[in-house]
């Protein structure tokens, strides 16, 4: 069964979807009900359940994409956001088949360890805890002095990502640098910077990116059943 058929069946059976985002070592999630499936327009209208709207707004504030998990069928996908209104109605595009991951089989990971990012630039290495992550990129927090070495559109050919006993190497570029207010982050009470990265050359990463995506999605699957 293809993803469109699964979504239509979930709509008929009134099965919920889960929007998710990995944030500071925790999984943000928002429960959504399918309002309508607009096949001809290739769009899906969803409604955030009570108490989920505030988390939904946090998830979609930056990238313009959203991660969706269908617990009933153990499928994940990432797709583009069309709109989100003040009443919590979210409209998204139908996902491409290439963005769909079937979690009914495959390798699983322990989630007890921190997810670490190691950047290499001009033979200098910087290793930090991951602040947040999605299937399209990640961010880290840097102090004012550490931030001096970074600028927007800067490319990092070697980015090592460590999770559990796994390590993968990717490439990424800086998409955004955001100054944080004092006390927003415990380790930097006097202010810091959130450096957001976007994965590059995704089509060439193949199995490596899938390994990372699987890790994130297993976290989503576990959190969605709590």
Give the pLDDT band (50/70/90) at residue 216: low
Q: How far apart are CA 81 and CA 44, in angstroms?
A: 10
pLDDT at 148 > cutoff 90: no
The pTM assigned to this predicted structure is 0.54
pLDDT greater at residue 28 or residue 224? 28
Interior angle at CA 194, CA 189 and CA 200, nearest 5 = 160
Q: Which of 195, 79, 85 is nearest to 140 (CA)?
A: 195
Interval 34-50 mean pLDDT: 92
Closest C-alpha to 172, from 150, 155, 193, 195? 155
How confident is the model at residue 69, as a pLDDT?
82
Alpha helix positions (H), 131-174: 144-147
Per the model's pLDDT, the better-predicted residue between 72 and 143 turns out to be: 143
173 pLDDT tier (thresholds 50, 70, 90): very high
User: How many C-beta neighbours within 10 Å does residue 76 have?
Assistant: 25
SS3 at position 70: strand
What domains are there in the chain, each with its CATH number? Answer: 3-104 (2.30.110.10), 116-204 (2.40.10.220)
């Amino acid at each position: 069964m293809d993803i469109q058929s699964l979504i239509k069946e979930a709509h008929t059976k009134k099965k919920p979807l889960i929007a998710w985002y990995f944030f500071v070592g925790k999984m943000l999630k928002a429960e959504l009900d399918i309002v309508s499936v607009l096949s001809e327009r290739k769009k899906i209208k969803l409604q955030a359940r009570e108490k989920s709207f505030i988390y939904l707004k946090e998830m979609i504030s930056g990238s313009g994409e959203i991660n969706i998990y269908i617990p009933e069928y153990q499928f994940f996908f990432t797709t583009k956001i069309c709109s989100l209104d003040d009443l919590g109605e979210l409209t998204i595009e139908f996902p491409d088949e290439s963005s769909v991951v079937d979690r009914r089989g495959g390798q699983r990971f322990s989630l007890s360890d921190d997810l670490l990012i190691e950047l290499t630039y001009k033979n200098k290495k910087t290793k930090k805890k991951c602040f947040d992550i999605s299937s399209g990129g990640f961010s880290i927090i840097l102090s004012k002095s550490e931030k001096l070495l970074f600028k927007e559109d800067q490319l990092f050919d070697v980015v090592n990502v460590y999770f559990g006993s796994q390590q993968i190497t990717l490439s990424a570029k800086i998409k955004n640098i955001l100054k944080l207010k004092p006390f927003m982050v415990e380790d930097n009470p006097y202010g810091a910077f959130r450096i957001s990265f976007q994965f590059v050359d995704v089509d060439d990463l193949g199995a490596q990116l899938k390994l990372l995506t699987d890790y994130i999605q297993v976290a989503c699957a576990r959190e969605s059943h709590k």
